[in-house]
Amino acid sequence: MSNSTDLGGNFTLLGASMPLKRMGYGAMQLAGPQVWGPPRDVEGAIAVLREAIAVGVNHIDTSDYYGPHVTNQIIKQALHPYPDGLVIVTKVGARRGEDKSWIHALSRQELVNAVHDNLRNLGLDALAVVNLRVGGMAGPSEESIEEPLTVLAELKRQGLIRHLGLSNISSAQFAEAQKITAIVCVQNFYNVAHRIDDRFIDGLAAQGIAYVPFFPLGGFSPLQSSVLDNVAASLQATPMQVALAWLLQRSPNILLIPGTSSLQHLRENLSAATLQLPSEIIAALDSIGQSANQTAT
Ligand SMILES: NC(=O)c1ccc[n+]([C@@H]2O[C@H](COP(=O)([O-])OP(=O)(O)OC[C@H]3O[C@@H](n4cnc5c(N)ncnc54)[C@H](OP(=O)(O)O)[C@@H]3O)[C@@H](O)[C@H]2O)c1
């Protein structure tokens, strides 16, 4: 089992005092199938959260539109009153349709309601970090984010939010955002096979801004690669552990939030922080992203 000393080291968000362990936990998988309704095993979901915290994870990623509301309610049931130093990062900017679709919800009223829903369902007086989610799951679009971000900046001034981040954004939208308010983190789709944000990550690292990849294990389409399988076998690790270790070594500003509803997978994922990848293995893994990019173009 992992312990609190081997979670990939620390990273402190700009303007925050508490360091985050680089190995965190993404809570989306705790809702029911298709991120809708309650999970089949609520006690199992609670056990996953409690074990993550017990071994030292202090960064949980969530949203009130997971379930909707269900994931935040389970987090509250499992962990409230929250231990000192736990940072719960949430997202606003989307809602769920009756058909389980993911719909933009970026109007002033929708954003204000979403912040209050998160506060109520998590049982908090202020949200530590709120990401404004703008693009779609597959990638960003290039519309201006000034209006919705200005609403969140106001809620931050009112004390309901401590720090702001952005999700599903381009580097141009990030530059626009920085003229409006301080941004501490970016959450975009990135993993060993999906490397569109390579240059963006390096630019954020230079500014001390965290990059938090979603779908670090491939998300709804788990990573599949013979290179990953062969490397994992050579290291007596699993392919998912190698994918997470690669991310930790990719850049010091990368924070991980792998999602799982399974205690076994949680333990496996957290242990990946102890896996050191030698340079020749990193080079082999880099070829996965290159060939994936060639296939896409
Ligand atoms: N900003 C956004 O738009 C956005 C979008 C998507 C997700 N997110 C956030 O990012 C977090 C991570 O993304 P994600 O959960 O969608 O994708 P992910 O972490 O890439 O993968 C999760 C999937 O991998 C499986 N898995 C986890 N660990 C495994 C292991 N060791 N071996 C084999 N399978 C394993 C999980 O199933 P089991 O439950 O069976 O382990 C689940 O099906 C989410 O929890 C959410 O907080 C944000």
- What per-residue confidence (pLDDT) applies to 292? 63
Flag residues of the chain having pLDDT under 50.
Answer: 1-4, 296-297
Residue whose CA lies nearest to ligand 1 atom number 37: 260
Q: What is the pTM of this model?
A: 0.96
d(CA 297, CA 294): 5
- Residue recorded with tokens 């060639």: 294
Does the active-site annotation cover 82? no
Nearest-atom number in ligand 1 for the CA of 214 is 10
Quote the CA–CA distance of 290 and 277 in Å, as a whole number. 19
| pLDDT for the residue numbered 18 | 85
Q: Which ligand 1 atom is at minimum distance from the Cα of 27?
A: 45
Q: Looking at the domain covering 10-224+247-262, what would its CATH class be?
A: alpha beta
CA-nearest residue, atom 9 of ligand 1:
214
What pLDDT score does 86 carry?
98
Q: Please state the domain extents for the chain.
A: 10-224+247-262
Ligand 1: atom nearest CA of 215 is 20
| Rounded-to-integer distance, Cα 44 and Cα 208, Å | 36
Ligand 1 nearest-atom number relative to CA 218: 20
CA of 69 to the centre of ligand 1 (A): 18
Asked if residue 88 lies in contact with residue 127, where contact means CB atoms within 8 angstroms, the answer is yes
Joined together, the tokens standing for residue 60 give: 């949980």
Ligand 1 pocket test target in 90, 212, 262 with most atoms within 8 Å of CB = 262
Could you say which of 25, 65, 66, 211 is catalytic? 66
Quick one: pLDDT at residue 291? Answer: 65
What residues does ligand 1 touch, defined as CB less than 6 Å away?
26-29, 61, 91, 133, 137, 167-168, 187, 214-219, 222, 240, 257-262, 265, 268-269
Contact 166, 132 (CB under 8 A): yes
> Cβ(67)–Cβ(31) under 8 Å?
yes
Tell which one of 28, 64, 238 to mutate to probe ligand 1, the residue whose CB is within 8 A of the most ligand atoms: 28
